[in-house]
Structure 1
Amino acid sequence: MAQAGDMTKATEPEDLARLFVELANAGDAKGLSELYEPDAVLAFPPGSQTVGRAAILAVFEQMLAQAPRFQVEEPMPTIRHGDLALTSTVPSDNTGGRVQVARRQPDGTWLRIIDRPEIRS
């Protein structure tokens, strides 16, 4: 993983889940939002969609205000197709699963474009 200014970037799509946990546990909502492309879609809160980095930032600010603690979860095998990757983890909180689609950026790093953190709502 590479450093770019104050933001840590994912050099592999699998880095995104670990970076999410690190940034969330540090209370860094802005850093979390920067793991997403500007027009990304987040299926959160459950049963709704949050579109765009600014809206995702607002959701994460609200979420982190409750001081949740996250842990790195067991990754499932990543599926790649060119510059796209499907990642998923086995949830530790029995929400049914987590899946994300990430896209390789022009600089070779990865950002999420679709994130479904919970299967059940």
Structure 2
Amino acid sequence: MNVAKHREPAKQPEELARFFVERANAGNVDGLVALYEVDAVLTFPAGNLAAGELAIRAVYERLLADKPKFTPGEQQPALINGDLALTSTRLTGGGVTVEVARRQPDGTWLWAIDRFNILE
């Protein structure tokens, strides 16, 4: 696995979803965690809240244990206001993700809030 590729930062907020699919399909938990701010929050599975890097890592370790395959959904254009962006993807097979990304001091983007599927 090319470690640099799986840790590449998002230069645009829309890149986060593509990186998620690539890294999840590669089984790269570290790469997935790198898409989030250290104190980010993630709802997954439905009704559960993972807050912070360690909790998000635990979610993805459990999720990727069975080696699921993810397909890219229909990425919606990001709605950007200053250093915040609302990102979302229509999932293949139903569902919609909604995330809040924040521009980092170096100009890259990370998710601060991730609602994995708003229809659950």
Verify same fold: TM over 0.5. Answer: yes
What residue ranges of structure 2 are gaps of 5+ in the alignment? none
> What is the TM-score normalised by the length of structure 2?
0.92
Aligned CA distance change for structure 1 residues 4 and 26 (closer, same or farther; 3 Å): closer
> What is the TM-score normalised by the length of structure 1?
0.92
User: What is the count of residue pairs matched by the alignment?
Assistant: 118
Q: Which amino acid aligns with 1:71?
A: T
SS at match of 1:114: strand
What residue ranges of structure 1 are gaps of 5+ in the alignment? none
Moved over 4 A (4+): 3-6
Deviation by residue 1:10-35 (Cα, 9 ceiling, x = unmatched): 00000000000000000001110110
- 1:100 equivalent to 2:94? Answer no
Identical positions, percent: 53
Q: CA deviation at 1:117?
A: 1.1
Aligned position for 2:51: 51
1:20-99 alignment, distance < 5 Å: 20-95=20-95, 97-99=96-98
Q: CA deviation at 1:7?
A: 1.5
SS at match of 2:8: strand
In structure 2, distance between residues paired with 1:83 and 1:4? 25
SS at match of 1:13: coil
In structure 1, distance between residues paired with 2:26 and 2:118? 25
Aligned position for 1:110: 109
Alpha-carbon RMSD across the aligned residues, in angstroms, is 1.6
Deviation by residue 1:15-64 (Cα, 9 ceiling, x = unmatched): 00000000000000111011000000001111111100111001100000
In structure 1, distance between residues paired with 2:34 and 2:117? 20
In structure 2, distance between residues paired with 1:118 and 1:93? 12
